[in-house]
A and B are shown apart, each in its own frame.
Chain A
Amino acid sequence: MSEKLIETKMINKSFHDPITIPILKDISFSIDKGEFVSIIGKSGCGKSTLLYILSTMDTDYEGELYINNQLITGLKERELARIRNEKIGFVFQFHYLLNEFNVLKNVMLPGIKLGKYSLKEIKDRATEKLIILGIEDQALKMPNQLSGGQKQRVAIARALINDPQIIMGDEPTGNLDIKNTEIVFDIFQELTTKFNQTLLIVTHDIEFANRTNRIIEMEDGRILTK
């Protein structure tokens, strides 16, 4: 018995600069809990655009978005921020760590923001996540002292800190070499199998995509296969 985690109904989006061009056309699909889904498609077909909408950061679209059967479309900025904090973890192509804080603090920040656990518990949880990603020995370093692959793993640890319902990634391995890509993929794999983590990853890497549960292929702003 599968449960829908994310569902979209007829999402359309256009950019109006300089002329109106439709980018996403009638996107209707859903992701179940525990699924490891990848999105592939040609450059410029709208993958990132879709991901930004699903992640609640982009609110300028038509149609409806549901997370946990709750209508997200039309919620206030603060409520969306809360949902991102609590339910969604992000990994971008670029790591986006905060250079003012050390690795551990970077991982902890979304947890402190959520305020569900005490500072001590958050610290323990962050260390736990770093252990899962095999970088607990880097905890007290500053982000600029890490390699690209290590940074990306810290970003994944940060995405995991609040035990999100779903982790979204926009080409999280795009900047990594084969070896590091392999490491990151194995981590994702482990997260789904071991922790039943739902994952939605945009990628250009067909190899990578083929090893996921389901591939969503996009072309020209539409979803081709289900």
Chain B
Amino acid sequence: MNQKLIIDIAKSLLLARWRQTLVAAVGVTFSIMMFIALLGFMTGLNDLLDGLILNRTAHVRIFKEVKPNPFQPADNQNEIGYNFVNSIKPSGNGLSLDNTAAILSALKNDSRVLGVSPKVTAQVFYNVGNVDVTGVINGIDVEAESKLFHFKDYVLDGNYLDLKNVPNSIILGKAAAEKMLANIGDVVQVTTPKGDRQMLKVVGFFQSGLQELDKVQSYCSLSTTQKLLGKPVNYITDMSVKLLDLTLAPKVAKEYSALFDTDTEDIQTANSQFETGSSVRSIISYAVGITLLIVAGFGIYNILNMMIYEKMDTIAILKATGFSGRDVKLIFTTIATSIGLFGGMFGLLFGFLLSSVIDQIPFNTAALPTIKTYPINYNIKYYVIGIIFSLITTYLAGLFPAQKASKIDPVDIIRGK
């Protein structure tokens, strides 16, 4: 009953001053709108930039570093003491992982693993006329690489599946292709470091967005690359593991390193810098949004102060007829928060509309072939935060005037007449 009465009185006071109320509410609407649009845009951008890295980076990479064997034959002779061996060189079958079949099946049975994409890397020369250009061919499992690391999003022309279906095919880095004047359907020649030559048919172009990378990197199927290198089908240099839960990466990496006796690297170690940029952009958006809200809060503060000044008589008579200071305070905080609520809700609506407009603005960049318009994040979280912020700021803005109103002494007002 009391609550309803207080809301009723607050509403009447608001409507009696609807013009000022509207100005105050518009201030809140504007700041919430900007907050929503800005955060949606900034986090959209963040997601995009994070995606650039996250989409294409293995959570755990299993590979073999070229390094000397810590266990030297001399150790067999003298197991207890020290052996001094100088100029140790790496040996064995180089970059290849051992026991790839066993590793693959172990990974497949690990419930934390979303998928694995095996890879063979080969250093080559692209033969352009009589000039040789250095390059790297990544032999990939086309389907796994597409599913886990969005390979097909970065293939510009041609069909990425041709890499698997057409024997001896290659998808060239865009910049490398330009250098070689190669078109789709052309045949290019590559030379391996061991001197073997191979003719490969161009079935597409790949653009990562990093010019330096696109100048050297090309893709072939696993088997084509293994053949190119003259290696057997179990020759794998690299395994990119994608986990269900990204945060487990460091732990899993360590585990695999011990289990498979190889080198591993987790995404957090490999890309420790990428989170910094994201958090800075978020902080900027929150700071701008909160600043706008504080400005709107001052507007509400002023209007309530004015209202209280005008409504001294009303406050005095309410108190004289039995409303307590607390009731009066509630009336004015209700006024403030309802401005916040309605202003905020319209702010959410307009923020959503503004976001949708930004979402339509064309945004073409060579680095991001799949992106056509500015990215927007419509996460409900920002809308919830927005409305909570607007309620809190308007409540705080109303609190001091309300406190003042609750302290008004009716005797002073009545005597003044």
Q: Which A residues lie at the B interface, using CB under 8 A?
A: 48, 52, 55, 57-58, 77-78, 81-82, 84-86, 90, 92-94, 96-101, 109-110, 112-115, 158, 170
Contacts and interface: CB of A to CB of B under 8 A. Distances in A.
B13 interface: yes
Interface residues of B, number: 28
Given A48-B415, A92-B414, A93-B417, A98 B317 contact: yes
Across chains A and B, which 4 residue pairs bring their CB atoms closest together, nearest first? Answer: A85-B322, A81-B324, A100-B12, A110-B321
Contacts of B411: 52, 57-58
A86 B322 CA distance: 8
5 contacts: A81-B325, A96-B317, A109-B318, A114-B322, A115-B1
Contacts of B409: 57
A58 B317 CA distance: 14
Nearest to A88: B322
A100 B321 contact: no
Contacts of B417: 92-94
Given A48-B415, A99-B16, 5 more contacts: A55-B320, A96-B320, A99-B314, A100-B15, A109-B9
A113 B324 CA distance: 10
A93 B416 CA distance: 12
B314 to A, nearest CB: 5
Nearest to B5: A112
A90 B320 contact: yes
B313 A77 contact: no
B contact patch SS: helix
A217 to B, nearest CB: 22
Nearest to A80: B324
Interface in B359-417: 409-411, 414-415, 417
Contacts of A158: 321
Contacts of B410: 57
A130 B159 CA distance: 88
Nearest to A95: B317
A169 to B, nearest CB: 12
A84 B320 contact: yes
Contacts of B9: 100, 109
A173 B417 CA distance: 15
Q: Which of A82, A90, A113 has the most CB of B within 10 A?
A: A113
Contact of B321 (A77, A84, A93, A115): A84
B58 to A, nearest CB: 66
A97 B12 CA distance: 14
A101 B5 CA distance: 13
Contacts of A57: 319-320, 409-411
A78 B414 contact: no
Nearest to B320: A90
Contacts of B313: 96
B228 interface: no
A200 B15 CA distance: 37
Of A48, A84, A100, which is in contact with the most chain B CB atoms at under 10 Å from its CB? A100
Given A48-B415, A100-B13, A85 B326 contact: no
